[in-house]
Amino acid sequence: MADPQVQHVSTIISAKWICPVRPHNITLEDHSIVIDQDRIIDIIETKKVASLYQTQEHFQFHHHIVTPGLINAHTHAAMNLFRGFADDQPLHTWLNESIWPLEKKWVTPDFVYEGTLIACAEMLKSGVTTFNEMYFYPEAASRAIKQSGMRANIGLFVMDYPSNYANDGDDYLMKGLEARDGWRDDALITSSLAPHAPYSVSDKTLSQVLTYANQLNLTMHMHVHETEDEIQESLKQYQLRPIERLNRLGILSPQFMAVHSVYLNEEDLTILSKESASVIHCPVSNLKLGSGMADISTLQKHGINICIGTDGSASNNKQDLLHDMQLASLLAKGLTKNPATLNAKTSLEMMTINAAKALGLDDRIGSIEKGKYADLTVFNMDHISTLPMYDPMSHLIYAASREEVSHVWVNGILQYEEGHFASMDIQACKDIALRWQLKLKQNI
């Protein structure tokens, strides 16, 4: 007869090491995460777990580290189909002769659905459970995301220039809000308003964005201060730096995510800090496009909430968040000439709880705590490339790669397990990629 004290639960994960992120800077040894349905209901010593819980699904990870699911705080998922299409080109050529004509010719709802699908597969196997998305045709993206089983915050893309998708600010907004109706009741998908950039969105449209954000309680997600040119153009047109302009429009707030933020002067930093806006750092993209290097250490000194994003695969060329985080940490050390800058503990927070906070989801995800949703990434450290190991947390940041990711749970569901996907047909995904490769090669 079953012990009446013993609770039957969905899943127990017993791991050698758990980095829960909250409480701060601890690594639990020989502990278990107890999951029931979609939630974490307990975290206890493994030797005690059997006396309290029983399950049909008990995972024993003897050489593994479990972290909260990683959160990619900025991407254009569908651009996976443009991965490596136009490498080693100067920025102007890249945009004007490659990416924009490609988008004009090829970007349709099918493109976005299929491109997002393959990006989801890549992100999942890279340990990402949630991503912050911005691209055309959000409805198509949402279909792929639902299929993948991932969590996402979908940006309702807005600008004042016409595209295949919409004609002007009003049209983008209308289409975005209509698309949002399709996932409003989905447990895994939330929405943000995603004005493209200061140079492509007028004050009038930005005011509308703000109105909707307030009315619907949505976050906002925008490319800001990516290049020096952008700032010079704004000074010419508005006699204001973009961040100053956004601040005057009242847009900056804890709900605002300033993607890139490569060039910030003391005034910009003070504004972002005062308004409690988040910064999404995309170091690979910033280097690859020759934009420059954000000075993360100075952002930290201003107490700004910093997260990490891959950006789209046209400028990365990977959806590999851990790689971006490692680069961010290395760059910050190199720029400050101090190996203690942006340490492993803070790096892990940037990929998890900081991003959850930026997305307004830190009550639900971003750490391994009782009551949060079971979004978990497991790294198998029993590899010749990760041994010996003296400190699991610093090993995650400096020695591990996405190839160490062995299991990924999203919302209590084991979506990825050692090369196998629960909700995705990976051969079909590869076929999609190859089909588009063939089509797009005509443009080269």
- Residues, the chain: 444
Determine, following the binding rule CB under 8 A, whether residue 141 of this chain makes contact with its own copies: no
Q: Which of residues 391-420 bind its own copies (CB under 8 A)?
A: 391, 394-395, 397-399, 401-403
Sites for its own copies among residues 90-109 (CB under 8 A) = 90-91, 94
Stretch touching its own copies by CB under 8 A, among 24-32, 40-48, 169-177, 279-287: 279-287
Q: Which is nearer to its own copies, 382 or 417 (CB)?
A: 382
Question: Which range in 121-129, 165-173, 176-184, 209-217 contacts its own copies by CB under 8 A?
Answer: 121-129
Question: Which window, 26-34, 132-140, 355-363, 383-391, contacts its own copies (CB under 8 A)?
Answer: 383-391
CB 79, min distance to its own copies, A: 11
Pick 211 or 385: Cβ nearer its own copies: 385
Residue 236 interacts with its own copies (CB under 8 A): yes or no: no
Binding string, residues 307-346; x marks residues near its own copies by CB under 8 A: ------x--xxxxx--x---x--xx-xx-xxxxxx-xx--
250 makes contact with its own copies (CB under 8 A): no
Q: Does 232 bind its own copies (CB under 8 A)?
A: no
Contact flag: residue 74 with its own copies (CB under 8 A): no
CB of 129 to its own copies, least distance (A): 17
Distance of CA 63 to the CA centre of its chain: 27
Q: Does residue 426 bind its own copies (CB under 8 A)?
A: yes
Which residue stretch of 85-93, 197-205, 243-251, 359-367 sits at the interface with its own copies (rule: CB under 8 A)? 85-93
CA distances from residue 44 to 12, 63, 391 in whole angstroms, order as listed: 10, 18, 21
- Beta carbons within 8 Å of 283's beta carbon, 6+ residues apart: 293, 294, 308, 324, 327, 328, 331
Give least dist CB 232 to its own copies, A.
14
Contact 377, 365 (CB under 8 A): no
3-state secondary structure the chain: CCCCCCEEEEEEEEEEEECCCCCCCCCEEEEEEEEECCEEEEEEEHHHHHHHEEEEEEEEEEEEEEEECEEEEEECHHHHHHCCCCCCCCHHHHHHHHHHHHHHHHCCHHHHHHHHHHHHHHHHHCCEEEEEEEECCHHHHHHHHHHHCCEEEEEEEECCCCCCCCCCHHHHHHHHHHHHCCCCCCCCEEEEEEECCCCCCCHHHHHHHHHHHHHHCCEEEEEECCCHHHHHHHHHHHCCCHHHHHHHCCCCCCCEEEEECCCCCHHHHHHHHHCCCEEEECHHHHHHCCCCCCCHHHHHHCCCEEEECCCCHHHCCCCCHHHHHHHHHHHHHHHHCCCCCCCHHHHHHHCCHHHHHHCCCCCCCCCCCCCCECCEEEEECCCCCCCCCCCHHHHHHHCCCHHHEEEEEECCEEEEECCEECCCCHHHHHHHHHHHHHHHHCCC
Stretch touching its own copies by CB under 8 A, among 78-86, 175-183, 263-271, 357-365: 78-86
Site map (CB under 8 A) of its own copies, residues 45-64, x = contact: --------------------
Is residue 430 a contact residue for its own copies (CB under 8 A)?
Answer: yes
**Toward its own copies, which CB reaches closer, 12 or 328?**
328
- For its own copies (CB under 8 A), the number of binding residues is 70
Interface residue with its own copies among 85, 157, 183, 409 (CB under 8 A) is: 85
- Distances in Å between the alpha carbon of 34 and those of 284, 329, 353, 418? 36, 32, 20, 21
In the list 197, 235, 293, 413, the residue contacting its own copies (rule: CB under 8 A) is 293
The single residue among 265, 387, 418, 425 that binds its own copies, judged by CB under 8 A, is 387
- Sole binder of its own copies in the list 2, 23, 215, 384 (CB under 8 A): 384
Measured from the CB atom, is 210 or 284 closer to its own copies?
Answer: 284
Decide: is 290 part of the binding site for its own copies (CB under 8 A).
yes
Positions touching its own copies (CB under 8 A) are 81, 83-85, 87-91, 94, 118, 121-122, 125-126, 284, 286-293, 313, 316-320, 323, 327, 330-331, 333-334, 336-341, 343-344, 382, 384-385, 387-391, 394-395, 397-399, 401-403, 426, 429-430, 433-434, 436-437, 440-441, 444
